[in-house]
Amino acid sequence: MIKLKNSAQIALMKKAGRITGEALLVARDNIRPGVTTKHLDDVIRRYIEKCGARPSFLGYAGFPGSACISINEQVIHGIPSANVVLKEGDIVKVDVGAYIDGFHGDAARTFAVGKIGKEAQKLISVTEECFWKGIEKFTEGNRIGDVGSAIEAHAKESGYSVVRKYIGHGVGQDLHEAPDVPNYGTAGRGPRIAVGMTVAVEPMVCIGTGDVKELNDNWTVITADKKLSAHYENTIALTGDGLIVMTKYD
């Protein structure tokens, strides 16, 4: 069941979203060659807790980190580690959630580590563009399929593919709620979009096929062909006054 939020609930979600977005900014400011993914996780956790919130992901289904930190061909759910060191030319996906006053925020970005190649930079840019193309369709009376269709169309036009196995989702009192928000779909199909809906739209875009597999740690998801992927996510809300991107920090 889709849980529509009233204005008071959306106001609380804005607070969770702001902390989530700011935690990504903290991560961005700490990303450089030689830094471990455990260090990034530590600074993210400290910031979220300093704000009076708690990391949404920490302990979620047993996940051991406060953030999912995934490098290069790793798509999502990378486990932070003191043994994983960022290198010049890497791209790193940081996925963060913050929970406060009964509500979650959820957002992700893909960051460059030092100087990266043109293809990697294009992939990062197109993935963000896919998000904005998708949420242009997140209007009252449209359907969820309109969002996914727009995301996939832009990725394909750019020569890329989207991950189909993992998708966006509703966000609220639970980190994952209805409806599912795939990064593909058929325009005019799926649940109807209504005022009060709060969802995480999160394109995961690949240079290769978009096929993925899970590693033996039972968390980290990589591209099956080992080619680069990028991830861009925000929690959004549709209100009577229009669309709000609650986790955007820039």
Per-residue pLDDT band for 228 (boundaries 50, 70, 90) equals: very high
pTM exceeds 0.85 for this model: yes
The span from the CA of 78 to the CA of 48, in Å, is 19
Q: In the predicted model, is pLDDT for residue 62 greater than 80?
A: yes
The chain-wide mean pLDDT, for the chain, equals 98
Domain map (residue ranges) of the chain: 7-245
Is there a contact between 228 and 207 (Cβ–Cβ < 8 Å)? yes
Domain spanning 7-245, CATH class: alpha beta
Q: In the predicted model, is pLDDT for residue 7 greater than 90?
A: yes
Q: In the predicted model, is pLDDT for residue 250 greater than 80?
A: no
List pLDDT tens digits, range 94-133.
999 999 999 999 999 999 999 999 999 999 999 999 999 9
